[in-house]
């Protein structure tokens, strides 16, 4: 796991489940490296939009463009690294 961040990883898995109302999904069961789109969660573009809005509202993180969004939301691991990097840039402590 590149940067590790176990607390942030767990937090973001909970965020995905809560934000997308995936009551039937145990957050801990979401694989870190599984694709969010076309993977076990089978998210679509509307789900990704909801995550982008949630990242902005709950974390104060704005995804600038589609390419950045694709990289950030490729998997839980990529989302963890993205959020950790953005927090670091903003001078906020990483989880």
CB within 8 Å of 80: residues ≥ 6 apart: 3, 5, 8, 9, 12, 32
Q: Which residues pair with 75 in a beta bridge?
A: 35
Stated pTM of the model? 0.87
CATH number of 6-90: 1.10.1200.10
Taking Cα atoms as reference points, which of 20, 90, 39, 32 lies closest to residue 61? 90
Given a cut of 50, whether residue 1 has pLDDT beyond it is no
pLDDT at position 90 is: 75
- pLDDT-wise least confident of 18-27, 32-41, 75-84: 32-41
Q: Which residue has the higher pLDDT, 80 or 87?
A: 80
Q: Dump pLDDT digits (tens) for 37-85.
A: 888 888 999 999 999 999 999 999 999 898 999 999 999 999 999 999 9
Residue ranges covered by each domain of the chain: 6-90
Q: Which residues pair with 35 in a beta bridge?
A: 75
């Amino acid at each position: 796991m590149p940067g590790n961040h176990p607390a942030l990883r767990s937090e973001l898995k909970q965020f995905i489940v809560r934000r997308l109302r995936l009551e039937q999904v145990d957050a801990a069961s979401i694989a870190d490296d599984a694709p969010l789109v076309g993977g076990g969660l089978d998210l679509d573009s509307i789900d990704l939009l909801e995550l982008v809005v949630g990242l902005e509202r709950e974390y104060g993180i704005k995804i600038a463009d589609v390419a950045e969004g694709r990289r950030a939301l490729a998997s839980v691991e990529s989302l963890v690294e993205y959020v950790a990097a953005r927090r670091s840039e903003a001078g906020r402590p990483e989880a």
